[in-house]
Copies of this chain bind each other. A is one copy, B any other.
C-alpha cells in the first residue's frame, strides 16, 4: 500500500496505469498558490457557516436523533434537494485535501466535528441519507432523482480523503458500513437491480477499494457501470418532476463501452466516464479504454468551449449536439468543468498522453476558475462566454451572477475540493522518471527524484526546474508538456540548449540528474487571435484573444466610456499588446488592441437586411479595446462581456 500519496485518484499497484500521481506534490508559490490560499482562508473557512445557514448540518443533526434512528419521527428536512448531504461531504473532502497539504488546527477541529455528525447520523444498518431519514420517503425507491448513491459516493470520497490526510479510520469505517449496506441491497436478484440517477459512486467505490483493498467494492463499482445504459431508469420520472428528461439525461440510454458520443447531463456523463476510466485501469479493460478515448475525443473536438467548459445546454444541463457551442447561452456549469478535469486526469494516467493535460490546463485557467470570485466568497454556476447588457436583470440561480451560495449548491464545494487537491494534478511519475503536466511553482517528486519548479506562469512562460534530489547513477527522464497553444519555445539544461522537439506533446530530458541541475523551458506567449472552426456556428466571423493558457474577454467596464462590447469589433491585423496591470483584478496581464465600432445597420426596425446593403459600409470608428483574463470576469460592477468578438470587415 502506497502510504506516501496523500491526494485523490491513486491507482492500485496492479492497475494498468502508465503514470502515477507524484507522491510529492506541493504548490508553494505563484498563481495557483494564491488561488489556493484564498480557497483555504476564505472559501473553505466559510464553508461550515454556509452549510449551517443552508440547513445541511441541521439535517445531519436531526438524523442523528435517537428517535429518527428508529424511523418513527420524521423531522423537518432543510433544503430543496435530496442531495443536500453531498454539499457537506464535498466540503469535508476539500478540507481534508487541504489538511493533507497544510496544517490548520481550526480546520482540523471543524473536520472532526463534521465527522462526528456524519457518524452519528448513520443508521444502524449503515444507511445514510438525511433526506430519506427525515421523512422524505422510503429509501432506495426513487433511484432516478433520489441521489442516494451519489451522496454515498461523495461520502466515500470524503472518507478516503480523511483517511489519507489524517490516517484515521473513523470516517472510512462509516463509508465502509455504507458501502457494505449498498452491497447488501443492490445487485441481480437483490432488493434493487438498477443504478443511481447521478453517477459518482463508481469513482468513489474504486477509491474505497484502493484504500481498503476490499475487492468487493471494485466489483460493486463494476456492477453499477455495467448495469447502466440498459434503460433501467427510463421508465419515467419520479414524483415531483413534471418532465421526463429521457434516458440520456442519466446516462442510461447506452452502455459506456458502446457509446460514441458524450451526451445527456454533462456532469453525470463525465463523472460516469471518470469512474469508467478508474475501472478500465483497475481491470485492464482495453475495450472500455478504447471507448473512453473515443468519447474524450468526441468531447474535445466537437463539444468543448474555448474556455475548456462543456455542457452547452441549459435544457437539462446537457451536452448539446456536435458543434453546438453558443457563447451567450453556454451553460458550461462549473461542476462540468471540474468533472472534465477529473475525467481527463484519469485518461492521462491511463494512457500516459500529454493531450489530456492540455485540456486540463485550459479548463483550469478558464472555464473552471471563472466559477469562483477572486475573493473566494461568491460563485458562478453557469459560465457563459458572452453576457449582454440587460442579462443582469434576469433573476435565478442559473444566471451569470456571482452568488454567495446556491439553492443547489453543488458547485462551490466542488471548486473547493479541486483547488485543495490541485497539487496532485501537476505531476506524475513512472518507471522512467517524472512528468510535469502543469506548470505551478512548487515541489514535485517520487522514487528519489524531486524537482522544484519556479515560474510566473501564466503571466510569463519561463519555467525553471531545479533538481533537488535525484537517485545516484541512474538515468532518469524528465518530461515537460509542451502546451498545444505554444508555437515557439526554447529548452535548456544547465544552460545548454537541449533537444526541443516534442514527442506526443512531451519534451524530454534524460540524464543522470544531480541536485542543482536546472532545466529551463521558455514558452513564448505573445497574445494571439484565435478563430473558430467553420463548424462552430455560434462564433462564426469572430475571433478571441488568447495568451498562453488564458482566454481573454472584453468587459464593459474596461472599454472607453463603458462601451458595450456588443458594439465592438476586433481588427485582425491590429497589434495585440500585453501589459502587466498589478492593480487590476488582483494583478493580471491585460491585452489591448485597436478595434472598431460596429456599424449600425439600417433600417433598424427589422434585424435582417438585403445582402447588398452591407457591402457598402464604411469601417467603424477606431476604439482602443482592453481585454482581461476570462477567469477574472464578473468581479467588478455588472456589465456586458464577450470572449468572441466580430472581426471587422477588411477593406
Interface residues of A (CB under 8 A from B): 80, 240-242, 244, 246-248, 261, 297, 300-302, 304, 306, 313-315, 320-329, 355, 386, 388, 390-391, 394-396, 398, 484, 487, 528-538, 540-544, 566, 572, 598-601, 604-611, 613-614, 644, 646
CB <8 Å contact, B390 and A322: yes
User: Which residue on B lies nearest to A540, using beta carbons?
Assistant: B541
Q: Which residues of B contact A313 (CB under 8 A)?
A: 314, 329
CA gap between A326 and B325 in the complex, in Å:
10
CB <8 Å contact, A328 and B605: no
Q: Which residues of B contact A542 (CB under 8 A)?
A: 537, 540
A-B pairs with lowest CB-CB distance, top 3: A541-B541, A529-B611, A540-B541
Q: Which residues of B contact A315 (CB under 8 A)?
A: 314-315, 398
Known A-B contacts A321-B390, A388-B321; the reply to A610 vs B541 at CB < 8 A is: no
Q: Which residues of B contact A396 (CB under 8 A)?
A: 244, 246
Chain B min CB distance to A613 (Å): 8
CB <8 Å contact, A297 and B605: yes
Chain B min CB distance to A234 (Å): 10
What are 13 A-B residue pairs whose CB atoms fall within 8 Å in the complex?
A80-B242, A301-B606, A315-B398, A321-B391, A324-B388, A326-B326, A326-B538, A327-B537, A529-B611, A531-B613, A535-B601, A536-B608, A540-B542
Known A-B contacts A80-B242, A611-B531; the reply to A605 vs B300 at CB < 8 A is: yes
Q: Which residues of B contact A534 (CB under 8 A)?
A: 598-601, 646
CA gap between A323 and B327 in the complex, in Å:
13
Q: Which residues of B contact A355 (CB under 8 A)?
A: 605
Selected contact of A388 from candidates B322, B398, B529, CB within 8 Å: B322
CB <8 Å contact, B302 and A607: yes
Q: Which residues of B contact A544 (CB under 8 A)?
A: 608
CB <8 Å contact, A301 and B607: yes
Chain B min CB distance to A389 (Å): 8
Chain B min CB distance to A398 (Å): 8
Selected contact of A301 from candidates B314, B484, B604, B614, CB within 8 Å: B604
Known contacts A323-B566, A326-B538, A533-B609; 7 further A-B pairs (Cβ under 8 A) = A80-B242, A246-B394, A325-B607, A355-B605, A531-B613, A537-B538, A543-B611
Q: Which residues of B contact A327 (CB under 8 A)?
A: 537
Chain B min CB distance to A394 (Å): 7
Looking at A246, A326, A540, the one whose CB has the most chain B CB atoms below 10 A away is: A540
CA gap between A297 and B607 in the complex, in Å:
11
CA gap between A606 and B572 in the complex, in Å:
21
Q: Which residues of B contact A325 (CB under 8 A)?
A: 607
CB <8 Å contact, B608 and A530: yes
Known A-B contacts A248-B394, A396-B246; the reply to A608 vs B326 at CB < 8 A is: no
Chain B min CB distance to A377 (Å): 24
Known A-B contacts A601-B533, A607-B323; the reply to A390 vs B540 at CB < 8 A is: no
CB <8 Å contact, B531 and A606: no
User: Which residue on B lies nearest to A388, using beta carbons?
Assistant: B321
Q: Which residues of B contact A646 (CB under 8 A)?
A: 534, 540
CA gap between A322 and B572 in the complex, in Å:
27
Chain B min CB distance to A245 (Å): 8
CA gap between A325 and B391 in the complex, in Å:
14
Q: Which residues of B contact A328 (CB under 8 A)?
A: 320-321, 324, 326, 537
Selected contact of A531 from candidates B300, B301, B608, CB within 8 Å: B608
CA gap between A30 and B608 in the complex, in Å:
29
Known A-B contacts A533-B608, A605-B297; the reply to A395 vs B540 at CB < 8 A is: no
Chain B min CB distance to A355 (Å): 8
CA gap between A600 and B395 in the complex, in Å:
41
Looking at A80, A391, A537, A538, the one whose CB has the most chain B CB atoms below 10 A away is: A537
Known A-B contacts A327-B537, A328-B321, A599-B534; the reply to A528 vs B607 at CB < 8 A is: no
Known A-B contacts A301-B604, A396-B246; the reply to A528 vs B598 at CB < 8 A is: no
CA gap between A604 and B321 in the complex, in Å:
17
Q: Which residues of B contact A529 (CB under 8 A)?
A: 610-611
Q: Which residues of B contact A644 (CB under 8 A)?
A: 537
Chain B min CB distance to A325 (Å): 8
Chain B min CB distance to A312 (Å): 9
CB <8 Å contact, B607 and A484: no
CA gap between A82 and B356 in the complex, in Å:
49
CB <8 Å contact, A323 and B528: no
CB <8 Å contact, B535 and A566: yes
CB <8 Å contact, B606 and A390: no
Known A-B contacts A246-B396, A322-B388; the reply to A607 vs B532 at CB < 8 A is: yes
User: Which residue on B lies nearest to A546, using beta carbons?
Assistant: B608
CA gap between A483 and B80 in the complex, in Å:
53
User: Which residue on B lies nearest to A398, using beta carbons?
Assistant: B315
CB <8 Å contact, A536 and B297: no
User: Which residue on B lies nearest to A358, using beta carbons?
Assistant: B606
CA gap between A302 and B544 in the complex, in Å:
25
CB <8 Å contact, A395 and B246: yes
CA gap between A306 and B609 in the complex, in Å:
10
Q: Which residues of B contact A326 (CB under 8 A)?
A: 326, 328-329, 538
Q: Which residues of B contact A321 (CB under 8 A)?
A: 328, 388, 390-391
Chain B min CB distance to A350 (Å): 18
CA gap between A605 and B354 in the complex, in Å:
14
CB <8 Å contact, B322 and A329: no
